[in-house]
Structure 1
Amino acid sequence: MKEQIVMDNKVILDVVVDVQKDFITGALANPEAQTTVAHLAETARQNAEAGHWMFFTKDTHPDNYLSTREGKALPVAHCIENTDGWNFAPELEDAMAKTEPEVSHICCKKTFGDYMLPSDILDELMMHNKAVTDIEKIIIYGYCTDICVISNAMVLRAAFPETEIEIQADCCAGVTPESHETALNAMRACQFRVSGQ
Structure 2
Amino acid sequence: MRKILIVIDMQKDFVDGALGTKEAVAIVPNVVEKIKRYDIKDVFATRDTHQPNYMETQEGKNLPVVHCVEGTEGWEINKAVAAVLDGATIFDKPTFGSAALCDAILKLSKEEELEIEMVGLCTDICVVSNALMLKAFMPEVKISVDSSCCAGVTVEKHEAALETMRSCQINVI
Q: TM-score, normalised by structure 2?
A: 0.94
Alignment of 1:12 onto 2:3:
yes
The CA RMSD measured in Å over matched residues stands at 1.5
CA distance in 2, matches of 1:122, 1:167: 18
Q: Which runs of 5+ in 1 are unaligned?
A: 1-9, 126-130
Alignment of 1:182 onto 2:173:
no
Which of 68, 74, 79 is 1:79 aligned to?
68
**Structure in which a larger fraction of residues adopt helix:** 2
Specify the alignment match of 2:123 in structure 1: 145
CA distance in 1, matches of 2:20, 2:7: 18
Give 1 or 2 for the bigger CA radius of gyration. Answer: 1
Letter in 2 for 1:41: V
Asked if the contact 2:5/2:118 (under 8 Å) is kept, the reply is: yes
Secondary structure of the residue aligned to 1:146 is helix
CA distance in 1, matches of 2:85, 2:54: 29
The Cα of 1:165 is off from its aligned counterpart by 0.4
Letter in 1 for 2:94: K
Q: For each residue in 1:1-49, what CA deviation from the matched residue of structure 2 results, as whole angstroms up to 9, or x when unmatched?
A: xxxxxxxxx2111110000000011111111000111111111112236
The Cα of 1:108 is off from its aligned counterpart by 0.4
Letter in 2 for 1:172: C
Secondary structure of the residue aligned to 2:120 is strand
Alignment of 1:55 onto 2:47:
no
Q: Alignment identity in percent? A: 43
Secondary structure of the residue aligned to 2:169 is coil
Letter in 2 for 1:32: E
The count of aligned residue pairs is 173
